[in-house]
């Protein structure tokens, strides 16, 4: 009787609880690793920790109220979104064009694909430094090339002139991350159902119609994942902008990450920046959940 | 006779002893070395400014200290703008990552208030040689103390200098043409208006081969603007209300002139930092610049045999560079370097003895004469040293100008959380240089400063500001 009870509660390979027990350690570690820092950040955001104040008593919503009057933060959010919405479509389009070009058999295809993905394996800090040199107004090749085309000496101050600084950032980012889009979309295109494409060709469908009605729906889930990953990367963007402009001129190119770094780690506004992080986390999580739902890729 | 002889012997011994004491007291370096030998075998961890500053410790003073005392030195290089936060973070974490700290004068108050600096008076009492303190130029001596206590020892006395091409300024044709055009003699400009005119005159005549000036326009802009702003008569705050007054008329005029004077500088000078300005001076592309003191040694080609300085372009202007105070006559005592002991250190005595050795008359003279290390004269004995005065033909002029600069210069603003105010100011100035309207940039700056002051506490900040503003070097007459 007793043994039958034990065998009843003892999980076996086939019972659902056995699977739960197996994954429990991993889930627990993940929860501890993500929940503890999150709780700590939330607690700190209600305190008044800065370099000069070590007040750990509850300060209410003071830090959250400050966010609404912090024009520099809202500008940083705007700058981040500007870069995201400018760079992401370009990277997607270029990545898609390259993927189409390389999806069939091409001479030296492997070599070219390997060369094309080099930028995305370079550290963004290094890429930023490299582009800073490329954009140097005196010694950088960009101005020299433009000068050859224009037939006169050109001195564009890419990293300080407010009119040119965003194009410089976007060019650097597109150079580094288009290969990421390319490689993911190439894999998606390589797995297309050839029979469907052949059938469309036999039926006389135009290339555009084939793309819109067969290829695009087939690669859509993969493309959406690629957009999502790059979108999140761009919202967290720090390295390239830091190396190119340090957020300048003034604070014209400060992204959310640069702003948080300066306020948190250079100015020690610990509690305030914790409040910013909490608010942005809520905001971006909501956007993410909404997007995932719309994209129907979370199912 | 025997009594007299005995007395004579006693007298001689007493004199020898007194002499010995005096000799030991006169030399803080020897005293530090002797005391440090009892800590032989330990290794000090030192946070230093990345680049040439750190190289001095890694390549020269560290190995020498090891040889003299048996104490090793492990240098961590940190970029200047990250020195303050990095050292503060390590202190807050109580990591004891560094024994020796590298700090700027305007950080002392904040670091002391946060307990991040070990008070040095007991160590000075125990090992120091107070007579050597009298030798420090007053402006730099002031940096070492806060509210009557000593927290750091100066090793680098920074002063902005105006470097100008003597051959261009002394050219009779230039003198004649300039006088005919502007009605006064061509000379190192004494005012910012004259600076603009001299700069434009030279550019108009010689460009693109030579431009009137090439200033530092990115990086450390709070130093350059603060100097100009105060020269124009500006004051940072209203002492009654603590409202920022950086957007007052002197501020607007100073920033507008700063932007307008880019026109006589080489194309792209908006992006120039310390390196670009130095390169342009050494290669003979500019007739004037305002920068830190080591440039004099490099423009004179004293770096020729230093591998670490191989990046400095070979000087084309040896014996052609003159030295003057920047327009207005009150150079910014821009940062400077102090060494301090971390309260979290486990080797506080050994750390103190190392910085005493570097700060001593004997050792510091060697370091301020080196091209490597970016250390500059801060002692009266440095200015008066025959060795230094004879280092190159016009070294005596250089030292005389440095000394004047130290006596007449503006000290950096030092209030609560100064670095936040500096950061805002630097961004505002670079924004104006990048094309933003100077008044709008300063209005935004004033708003940011007011918000900062509110956040820190108006009364607390007012007290700190009034304490700083009472110094004669805050606002010169």
Token representation of residue B23: 């000799």
Distances (CA, A) of B245 to A254, A268, B254, B307, B333: 26, 25, 13, 47, 21
pLDDT exceeds 80 at position A296: no
- Identity of the residue in A51, A159, A251 whose CB atom sits nearest the CB atom of B271: A159
B307: which residues sit within 8 A by CB, 6+ positions away?
Answer: none
Q: Which two tokens stand for residue B89?
A: 């973070």
Q: What is the pLDDT of residues A191-235, one digit of tens each?
A: 998 898 899 999 999 999 999 999 999 999 999 999 999 999 999
Is residue A180 within 8 A of residue A120, CB to CB? The reply is yes
Burial pattern B107-122, b for ≥16 Cβ within 10 A else e, equals: bbbbbbbeebbbebee
Question: Is omega for the bond preceding A183 within 30 degrees of 0, making it cis?
Answer: no
Percent above pLDDT 90 for chain A: 60
Residues 6+ apart with CB under 8 A from A189: A99, A100, A103, A215, A219
pLDDT of residue A222: 93
Place of tokens 């208030």: B113
* Beta-strand runs (E) in A26-126: 48-49, 54-55
**How would DSSP label each residue in A186-255?**
HHHHHTS-HHHHHHHHHTT--HHHHIIIIIHHHHHHHHHHHHHHHHHHHHT--HHHHHHHTT-STTTT--
C-beta atoms surrounding B204 within 10 Å:
12
Give, in degrees to the nearest 5, the angle at Cα B473 between B409 and B382: 50
Q: Give the residue with greater pLDDT, A298 vs A132.
A: A132
Q: What pLDDT score does A10 carry?
A: 62
Query: Hey, is A57 helix, strand or coil?
Result: coil
pLDDT for residue B201: 98
Q: What does pLDDT average to in each consecutive run of 10 residues of chain B (477 residues)?
A: 47 44 67 96 96 92 97 95 89 93 93 94 93 92 92 96 98 97 97 98 97 94 97 97 98 98 94 92 97 94 76 91 97 95 97 97 94 90 96 96 95 91 94 94 96 92 94 89
Contact B295, B281 (CB under 8 A): yes
Contacts of residue A65, Cβ cutoff 8 Å, sequence gap at least 6: none
Higher-scoring residue by pLDDT: B391, A137: B391
For residues B138 and B129, give the distance between their C-alpha atoms in angstroms, rounded to a whole number.
17
Q: Does A147 touch chain B (CB under 8 A)?
A: no
pLDDT digits (tens, 9 = 90+) for B311-366: 888 899 999 999 999 999 999 999 899 999 999 999 999 999 999 999 999 999 99
Angle at B440 between CA B437 and CA B446, to 5 degrees: 140
Comparing C-alpha atoms, which of B133, B42, B49, B95 is closest to residue B348?
A: B42
Joined together, the tokens standing for residue A19 give 């699977």
pLDDT of residue A13: 65
In B109-150, the DSSP E strands lie at 145-146, 149-150
Structure tokens at A203: 């039926």
pLDDT at A139: 84
Whether residue B371 contacts residue B435, with contact meaning beta carbons closer than 8 Å, is answered with: no
Cβ neighbours of residue A298 closer than 8 Å, sequence gap 6 or more:
A292
Stated as kind and residue range, the H or E segment containing B411 is strand B410-411
Residue A4 C-alpha, separation from nearest chain B C-alpha, in angstroms = 56
* pTM of the complete model: 0.85
Q: Is B448 part of the contact surface with chain A (CB cutoff 8 Å)?
A: yes
Q: Is the CB of residue B137 less than 8 Å away from at least one CB of chain A?
A: no
pLDDT at residue B227 in the model: 97
- φ/ψ bin of A185: left (φ > 0), alpha (ψ from -120 to 50), beta (otherwise): alpha
Distance from CA of A66 to the nearest CA of B (A): 10
Dihedral angle sign, alpha carbons of residues B421, B424, B426, B432: negative
Put simply, whether B463 touches A (Cβ < 8 Å) is no
> Are B453 and B242 contacting, i.e. CB atoms less than 8 angstroms apart?
yes
> How many Cβ atoms sit within 10 Å of the Cβ of residue B176?
11
Tokens of A176: 């580094």
More confident of the two residues B447 and A105: B447
Across the interface, whether the CB atoms of A138 and B420 are under 8 A apart is answered no
End-to-end CA distance of chain A: 44
- The pLDDT assigned to A15 comes to 72
- How many CB pairs lie under 8 A apart between chains A and B? 75
pLDDT value of residue A20: 86
pLDDT of residue A31: 86
Contact between B433 and A249 using a beta-carbon 8 Å cutoff: yes
β-strand partners of B103: B338
pLDDT digits 0-9 by tens, B79-106: 888 899 889 989 988 999 999 999 999 9
- According to DSSP, the β-strands at B100-103 and B332-333 are unpaired
Are B436 and A250 within 8 A, CB to CB? yes
Residue A56 has pLDDT above 80, yes or no: no
**Among residues B332, B290, B370, which one has the least CA distance to residue B473?**
B332
DSSP B136: B
Retrieve residue A167's tokens.
């194009």
Q: What's residue A116's pLDDT?
A: 92
Helices B348-359 and B361-369 cross at an angle (nearest 10°) of 60
At B341, give phi and psi (nearest 5°).
Answer: -110, 135
B420 to chain A, closest Cα gap in Å: 6
Most confident of A23-27, A139-143, B108-112, B232-236: B232-236
Rounded to 5 degrees, φ, ψ at A11 are: -70, 140
User: Token pair of B464, please?
Assistant: 């700190």
Q: Do residues B326 and B401 touch, judged by C-beta distance below 8 A? A: no
pLDDT at A75: 94
Cβ contact, residue pair A163, B456, below 8 Å? no
């Amino acid at each position: 009787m007793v043994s039958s009870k034990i065998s009843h509660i003892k999980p076996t390979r086939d019972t659902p609880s056995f699977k739960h027990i197996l994954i429990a350690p991993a889930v627990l570690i993940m929860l501890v690793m993500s929940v503890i820092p999150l709780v700590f950040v939330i607690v700190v955001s209600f305190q008044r920790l800065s370099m000069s104040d070590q007040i750990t008593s509850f300060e209410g919503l003071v830090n959250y109220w400050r966010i609404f009057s912090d024009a520099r933060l809202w500008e940083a959010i705007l700058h981040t979104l500007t870069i995201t919405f400018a760079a992401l479509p370009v990277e997607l389009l270029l990545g898609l064009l390259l993927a189409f070009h390389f999806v069939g058999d091409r001479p030296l295809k492997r070599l070219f694909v390997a060369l094309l993905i080099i930028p995305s394996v370079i550290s963004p800090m290094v890429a930023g430094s490299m582009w800073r040199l490329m954009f140097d107004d005196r010694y950088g090749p960009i101005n020299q090339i433009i000068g050859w085309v224009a037939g006169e000496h050109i001195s564009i101050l890419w990293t300080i002139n407010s009119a040119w600084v965003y194009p410089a950032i976007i060019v650097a980012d597109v150079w580094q991350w288009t290969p990421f889009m390319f490689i993911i979309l190439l894999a998606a295109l390589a797995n297309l159902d050839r029979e469907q494409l052949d059938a469309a060709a036999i039926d006389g469908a135009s290339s555009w119609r084939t793309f819109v009605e067969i290829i695009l729906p087939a690669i859509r889930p993969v493309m959406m994942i690629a957009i999502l990953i790059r979108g999140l990367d761009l919202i967290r963007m720090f390295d390239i902008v830091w190396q190119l402009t340090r957020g300048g001129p003034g604070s014209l190119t400060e992204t959310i990450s640069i702003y948080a770094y300066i306020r948190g780690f250079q100015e020690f506004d610990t509690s305030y920046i914790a409040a910013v992080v909490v608010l942005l986390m809520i905001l971006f999580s909501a956007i993410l959940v909404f997007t995932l739902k719309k994209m129907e890729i979370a199912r | 006779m025997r009594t007299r002889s005995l007395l004579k012997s006693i007298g001689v011994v007493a004199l020898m002893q007194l002499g010995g004491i005096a000799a030991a007291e006169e030399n803080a370096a020897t005293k530090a070395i002797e005391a440090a030998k009892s800590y032989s075998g330990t290794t000090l961890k030192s946070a230093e400014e990345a680049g040439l500053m750190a190289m001095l410790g890694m390549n020269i003073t560290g190995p020498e200290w090891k040889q003299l005392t048996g104490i090793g030195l492990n240098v961590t290089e940190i970029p200047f703008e990250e020195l303050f936060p990095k050292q503060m973070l390590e202190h807050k974490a109580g990591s004891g990552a560094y024994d020796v700290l590298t700090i700027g004068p305007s950080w002392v108050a904040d670091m002391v208030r946060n307990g991040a600096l070990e008070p040095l008076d007991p160590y000075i009492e125990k090992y120091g040689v107070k007579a050597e303190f009298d030798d420090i130029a007053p402006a730099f001596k002031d940096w070492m103390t806060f509210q009557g206590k000593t927290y750091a020892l100066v090793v680098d006395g920074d002063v902005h200098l105006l470097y100008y091409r003597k051959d261009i300024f002394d050219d009779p044709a230039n003198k004649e043409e300039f006088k005919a055009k502007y009605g006064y003699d061509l000379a190192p400009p004494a005012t910012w208006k004259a600076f603009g005119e001299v700069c434009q005159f030279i550019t108009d005549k010689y460009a693109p081969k030579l431009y009137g000036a090439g200033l530092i326009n990115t990086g450390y802009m709070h130093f350059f603007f603060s100097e100009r702003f105060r020269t124009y008569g500006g004051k940072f705050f209203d002492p009654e209300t603590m409202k920022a007054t950086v957007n007052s008329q002197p501020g607007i005029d100073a920033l507008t002139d700063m932007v307008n004077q880019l026109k006589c500088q080489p194309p792209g000078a908006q992006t120039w930092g310390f390196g670009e300005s130095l390169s342009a001076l050494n290669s003979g592309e500019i007739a004037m610049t305002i920068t830190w003191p080591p440039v004099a040694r490099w423009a004179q080609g004293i770096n020729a045999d230093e591998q670490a300085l191989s990046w400095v372009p070979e000087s084309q202007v040896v014996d052609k560079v003159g030295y003057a105070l920047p327009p207005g006559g009150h150079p910014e005592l821009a940062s400077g370097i102090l060494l301090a002991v971390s309260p979290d250190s486990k080797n506080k005595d050994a750390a103190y003895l190392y910085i005493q050795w570097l700060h001593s008359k004997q050792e510091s003279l060697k370091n301020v004469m080196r091209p490597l290390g970016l250390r500059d004269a801060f002692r009266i004995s440095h200015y008066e040293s025959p060795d230094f005065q004879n280092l190159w033909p016009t070294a005596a002029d250089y030292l005389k100008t440095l000394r004047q600069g130290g006596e007449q210069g503006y000290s950096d603003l030092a209030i609560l959380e100064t670095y936040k105010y500096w950061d805002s100011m630097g961004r505002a100035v670079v924004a104006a240089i990048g094309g933003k309207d100077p008044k709008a940039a300063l209005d935004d700056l004033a708003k940011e400063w007011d918000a900062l002051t509110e956040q820190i506490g108006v009364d607390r900040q007012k007290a700190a500001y009034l304490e700083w503003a009472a110094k004669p070097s805050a606002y010169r007459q």
